[in-house]
Amino acid sequence: MKQNAKISSNPPRALSSVVGSIEVSAIKQLELYALSKPDVVSLAQGTPSFFTPDHIKEAATEAMKKGLTDKYTPGYGIEPLRVAIVEKLKKQNNIHVQPSQVMVTHGAIEACMAVFMTLLNPNDEVLMPTPNYASHVTQIKIALLGRSPTYVPMDETKDGWSIDLEKIKRAITPNTKAIIICNPSNPLGKIYSKEELEAIANIAIQHNLYIIADEMYEDLVYDGKKHISIGSFPEVFDRTISIFGVSKSYAMTGWRIGYLATSQELFNQIFKIHDSLVTCPTAISQYAAIAALNGPKDVVWEFKKEYEKRRKITVDALKSTDKLQVSTPEGAYYILPKIKKPVDDVALAMEMVDKAGVAVVPGSAFGKGGENHIRIAYGCEEEQLRKGLDRFVSYINKHL
């Protein structure tokens, strides 16, 4: 542009009304804010403290040396990985599919976005038992052009959380298109019982709903509990999209590999969106994922054992104060204690960073029913976890 050229006085056109209706997730906001402060312990983002096991990294290195990672892969993922996923789904989830019904995605979050954009029209409604994963809320808002999901708050007691079937039934309208569940749950650590899943399946059949099941934490279940995939129920398989990944089970959050399994008809439509979003999953990460799924499971059990230890540390610390109502999580590595005194949980979370030196996530970020709660992730190293919990409890005791 010439130095003396006139600059237009007209302001830029307004941006999309959708982007104006959403915000960066509270999890990321708190994590980024914490990074800007010295000596803050983060119990906010659910990042495993462990490193990816060596045999997985070695497989990725070998694939790179062989020149297998330099070019685009098929958009739905390389065949050896899809075959490995098929075998895993059959053995672990009792979901029986062909490789052509498996789509490898750029993390489970991209799988969810592709599913929402495939299923939803702007006037549709999505039932969401809450509290539920905050990014699901944002993604549904994008798909619905700024409208929120239909929140169905769960029932909370000192012993845990349960779905209220009558609330779900009352929330259904002619526009209701789908129901989403996170099992095991982020942020609750709840595992859906077989009875709850059967009830959801019956409702979906009766009202012709799709079921979206985010099952990222399937391997992290405690106390002899069992994770059950709703996609294993034959009567709802054709209307269910089951979403998984290697991020949490194998400490591979940075590798960004998720996958989904569904009917061939739904797969064919979801692929159109997936292809436009990412072209294909990251090549080197797919070879790493093969090694994860086909390799020894000892690492998964070792991670789980350590998370169980950290869960006890967390529960014991939170139960040491009478300011909180605490239920022990059944899975994942999150806990959502309720603050007995009415508070602005968003303001409290920000105060915690500034005044207590610990980052946590406000419960209201996870939908209705999450207000007056705080989510704590106990996936970090034990030393950091103890330090963060001590700061959190001390602040609660002093200020609430």
Residue-wise pLDDT for 34-87, tens only, equals: 888 889 999 998 889 999 999 999 999 999 999 999 999 999 999 999 999 999
**Does residue 7 register a pLDDT over 70?**
no
Cα–Cα dist 226/212, whole Å: 19
What pTM did the predictor assign?
A: 0.95
Cα–Cα dist 165/154, whole Å: 9
pLDDT tens digit sequence for 339-362: 999 999 999 999 999 999 999 999
**Among 348, 135, 374, 384, residue whose Cα is nearest residue 258:** 135
Average pLDDT of 154-166? 93
pLDDT tens digit sequence for 94-109: 999 999 999 999 999 9
Report pLDDT for 5.
Answer: 57
For the domain made up of 70-294, the CATH class stated in words is alpha beta
Average pLDDT of 233-237? 98
Query: At a CB cut-off of 8 Å and minimum separation 6, what does 381 contact?
Result: 49
**Does residue 328 register a pLDDT over 90?**
yes
Which residues of the chain form CATH 3.40.640.10?
A: 70-294
The whole-angstrom distance between residue 89's C-alpha and the CA centroid of its chain comes to: 19
Which residues of the chain form CATH 3.90.1150.10?
A: 17-51+299-399
Cα distances (Å, whole numbers) of residue 373 to 146, 161, 184, 282, 387:
25, 13, 19, 37, 20
Asked whether 381 and 42 are in contact (CB, 8 A), the reply is no
Cα distances (Å, whole numbers) of residue 249 to 129, 178, 274, 292, 341:
24, 27, 24, 9, 36
Average pLDDT of 164-174? 97
Report pLDDT for 1.
Answer: 45
Percent of the chain with pLDDT over 90: 89
- Fold assignment, 17-51+299-399: Aspartate Aminotransferase, domain 1 (3.90.1150)
Cβ-count burial 293-329 (b if 16+ within 10 Å, e if not): bebeeebbeebbebbeebbeebbebbeebebbbbbbb
Give the range among 5-9, 28-32, 236-240 with minimum mean pLDDT: 5-9
pLDDT tens digit sequence for 238-282: 999 999 999 999 999 999 999 999 999 999 999 999 999 999 999
Average pLDDT of 197-201? 98
**How does residue 32 score in pLDDT terms, banded at 50, 70 and 90?**
confident
**Does residue 292 register a pLDDT over 60?**
yes
Mean of per-residue pLDDT scores for the chain: 95
